[in-house]
Amino acid sequence: MDRRSFVAAGLAAGATAVSMTASGSQAKAAGRSRTSKKGGFKLKYAPKINAFKMHAGNDPIDNIKFIADQGFRAIFDNGLMKRPLAEAKAIVKELDRQGMDLGPFVLYSDNKVKNFVSADPQVRKGLVDTMKKGVEFAKSINAKWALVVPGPFNPGLEPAYQTANVVENLRYCAEVLEPSGLVMVLEPLNPWKNHPGLFLTSIPQTYQICRAVNSPSIKMVNDLYHQQITEGNLIPNIDMAWSEIASFHLGDNPGRKEPTTGEINYKNIFKHLYNKGYDGVLCMEHGQSISGKEGEMAVINAYRECDDFQV
């Protein structure tokens, strides 16, 4: 089957997953409340599953219950795929009971091996096999999103050729993902503070690649902490890349702690996302500015403050 026919056949399967992304959630939010039954937050801020372990202990189910009691409507767990399958299923079962969403789990992130920038058929086969494993795992727990970091750039190869290789490799990955409805979110990471030497570094670059692949299963996560360091211009970049954004990561800069501790005006950003009709997850991928229970409550209160915008 040629690529065009395959994509057409896969669009129906991918439509459900894409409708959950930002690009499928652009209805006007005026006159509509998305707060939880418990009077929680307007948006789906998603704490790490162990973000409040000083209050909830080490059991993941107890953590989910505590997170839900605070009014949050989602969680994320980057290492979900590394957990025993029975534990992962128990986590998802509790999320379903609470009516909560699950953010993207990490499917592939190797910052040392130059895989996605390579045209080597054997490398491509390895990437395809990884996608197949991700699809099977996602099916077993009914997950909708998986995160991928394309890895390092190759200093010995012209950047344009590397981009073409990344696009081609992602097209092969998409052929695996589309029939299942699983959506890969590519994450660009800043090269200045945290991740030097990686291929994918900015929102415009990631947008260009997603448009080139042109698949409902290849989107991006906009990590606002990384974006603030790399290119800034947060709200305009959100708008320009909107059709390809499937989820967000949060963290203030400098410090990568909770909102209100740095220079990013998260209240304005959250209001902007709400008004655009965003109903996906916003993963709280940051630390806390104060240690212990006091610090955990400071995180919760920071989100309450930033979520207190007029609609």
pLDDT of residue 5: 44
pLDDT at 2 over 90: no
pLDDT band of 306, cuts 50, 70, 90: very high
Tell me which CATH code domain 3-307 carries.
3.20.20.150
- Do residues 307 and 73 touch, judged by C-beta distance below 8 A? no
pLDDT at 16 over 60: no
Between residues 20 and 205, the one the model is more confident about: 205
- In this structure, the number of other CB atoms found within 10 A of the CB of residue 287 comes to 16
pLDDT of residue 22: 42
CA-nearest of 240, 217, 147 to 188 is: 147
93 by Cβ neighbours in 10 Å (0-12 / 13-18 / 19+) ranks as middle
> Mean pLDDT, the chain, as a whole number?
90
Strands 281-284 and 44-47: parallel
Question: Across residues 119-136, what is the average pLDDT?
Answer: 98
Question: Across residues 33-51, what is the average pLDDT?
Answer: 77
pLDDT band of 94, cuts 50, 70, 90: very high
pLDDT at 31 over 70: no
pLDDT band of 118, cuts 50, 70, 90: very high
Q: Calculate ∠ Cα 147-126-2, nearest 5°.
A: 90
Between residues 27 and 114, the one the model is more confident about: 114
pLDDT of residue 167: 98
pLDDT at 3 over 50: no
Q: Which amino acid is at 216?
A: P
Backbone angles phi, psi at 177, to 5 degrees: -80, -40
Prior bond to 254 cis, omega within 30?
yes
Which pLDDT tens digit goes with each residue over 156-194?
A: 999 999 999 999 999 999 999 999 999 999 999 999 999
pLDDT of residue 27: 35
- Do residues 267 and 310 touch, judged by C-beta distance below 8 A? no
Which pLDDT tens digit goes with each residue over 251-273?
A: 999 999 999 999 999 999 999 99
